[in-house]
Structures are given as structure tokens and as C-alpha cells.
Amino acid sequence: MLQQVIDTRNALKLILISIPGTLLAFFLHQPFWMLTTFYAIAATIPYGTHKSYNLALLTLIFLFAATVLLDFLLTQSGIYFIIILSILSLVIGFIETHNPQFKTIGAYLFIGIIYASFEARIYLTTPTFFTLTLLLLVSILSLLLGFLINEKDKTNDFHINVIFSKANLLDYYVYFIPLLTTMIIWYFFDIAQPQWLMWSSLSVASLSIKQSRKKIQQRLLGGCIGVPLGLLIVFLLQGGNIVIHYLSFIGIMFTLRGIKKYTLAFASRCFFVVIFAGSHSLHIGGIRLLDVIIGGSVGLASSILFTCIKQGWLTTKTHRNKQAGQ
């Protein structure tokens, strides 16, 4: 029964990866060490797609360098962040359109860059070169620990086709529109936890309205279950303590791939996020639900827009072909 819910291999891998950063954050009283866990997990989850240790390591280094740069740009102006993320969304949309196997890699590039950039802004206010070097080394160590539990099959047949097709031009914008919309909302309204809003829109966005509707329903259900349960636990614990705080962080990381059912995984993630917030749980829980609703609505609206435009374009093309044939 438990094996139908828990992905044992991934669960152990994610927990093992979480240990170095969490222990350093706990004993040194420096939360920024938790970023190392996030970098390593964002690099190791796509391993199941490409089966390449070298690519996983390169992904980690790219994520680290990109978020350090974006963290710096965020302190200058949000416009730079919006421009770079918009370009990235087009690149990922372009590659994924012709390479469906790239979806997991693209997703965790988004997750890693968006989440780590905003978290680094909170925890790494004035990072030194020495601190950044240590962060990168611990991130790599965490990634190597994850390699210990990787699948035995090391067959590497992963490749990317670079093709441009006018027929798929609209598909390339599948992530651009929802991400740009949520970034504009964040920029003008300065909302809290903007990373949740952005990823909620990207998570729901799809070229299929049916898939988008299903995803937003799953996320809403998960949020409505996980947030209240988390608030209940915080109330019973009377605000929680430092040990619970860091254990809940490991719980958040565990839910990224340790639970097979998406709705249950998202509910569990919301549950741990609220507990992680401790005394701020009520505020964070409300923001979490609001971001799920607004971000998900943006993603669904984008999917509807894409579908309408595509159907209109196909109808026009068919009509022109018929006229040309007469």
C-alpha cells in the first residue's frame, strides 16, 4: 500500500540530499545553507531523463551561476529579471516543443532559477566570494550524495533536436505568456512570495485546456487540504520550534518527487510549507492559497487563449486552402 503512494528510491534520494544543507543551517544558524539542498535537488531530479552525471553537474553549476546573477539584478531592478526570465521561457518552450523528454529538465530549470533567486535575495543579502564558493561546494556534495541512490540503468540516449517550425510558432510561447503576466503582477503590486505565483502559472500552463483544468483542480484541492492541516499542527505546537522548522524543510524537499500522486504531493508540500513558516503560518498559508488561485488562473487563461488562437489560425488556414483549390 505504501509503495503505491511513496516513491521509495526518490524519497531516500531527496532526504539524503537534504541532509548537508539542513545540518549546516541548523548548527550554524544560517538559513542560506538550505539553498544548497535546493540547487542539488533541482539538478538531480531530471537525472531520470538524461542519465548523465556530467549533465546533472553542469545543470547545478548553471543554476547556481544564474541565480547569483539574478539575485544581483533583483537588487538593481526587477526589469532585468523580467527580461532574462522571459527569454529563458521562450528558449525552454522552443526546445520542449520538439523534445517532449526535455519537460522535466525545463521544469526544474524554472523551479531552480525562480525559487532560488528570490530565496537568495532573502537569505544572501551581502554574499562574499568565499561564502558563494562554499555554497557551490556543499551543493555539489549534496548532488554527489544523490548519485549514490540513482538508478542502476545508466543508458544515455538523451539528445535534443533543434528545429524551427512556423507551424509550431505559437507553441513556443506556452510559458512566455503566463510567466510574463505573473512577473508583471509581481513587479507592479510587489506581492509576497512571487515565486509561488510564477510557478503556479507555469505549472498549470499547457497547450491543452483539459490538462490545465485538471492541474489547477489538483493544486486547489491540495492547497485546501494541506494549508488547514498545517495551520492545525502549528496551533497544536504553539508556533513550532527550530527542530520542527528544519524537519519541515526536509519534508518540503521530499514532496517534490517522493510522493507519486500529484494532488497528495502538493497537499503535503503546502502542509510542510505552513509548518516551516512557524509563527507566520497564517500569513504564509493565506499567501500560498492566493498564489495558487491567481497563478493557476493565469495559467488556465493562457491555455484557453492559446487554444482559441490556434483553432482560429487552423480554421483560417483551412478556409484559404479550400479557396485556393477552387
pLDDT in tens, 130-189: 999 999 999 999 999 998 886 655 556 667 777 888 878 888 999 999 999 999 999 998
Please tell me the predicted confidence (pLDDT) of residue 207: 84
Three-state SS sequence of 294-323: HHHHHHHHHHHHHHHHHHHHHHHHHHHHHH
Find, among 70, 95, 68, the residue nearest to 83 by Cα.
70
Domain boundary among 152, 187, 222: 152
What lies within 8 Å, CB to CB, of 244 at 6+ separation is 237, 275, 278
The whole-model pTM stands at 0.90
What does the pLDDT look like over 204-218, one tens digit per residue? 999 889 999 999 999
C-alpha cell of residue 211: 490538462
Helix spans in 205-280 (H): 209-236, 242-255, 262-277
Same domain, 143 and 205: no
Cα torsion at 245, 149, 100, 292 (round to 10°)?
A: -10
Q: At which residue does the C-alpha cell 532560488 appear?
A: 116
Same domain, 6 and 125: yes
Domain boundary among 119, 136, 152: 152
Whether residue 192 lies inside any domain: the answer is no
How many domains does the structure of the chain reveal? 2
C-alpha cell of residue 152: 542502476
Mean pLDDT of 47-59: 85
| Domain span holding position 76 | 1-152
**CB-based contact 226:267 (threshold 8 Å):** yes
Residue 322 has pLDDT above 70, yes or no: no
Whether residue 170 lies inside any domain: the answer is no
Per the prediction, the chain carries an average pLDDT of 88
Same domain, 18 and 101: yes
- Separation CA 251–CA 6 (nearest Å): 13
Same domain, 106 and 227: no
Cα dihedral 60, 66, 68, 74 sign: negative
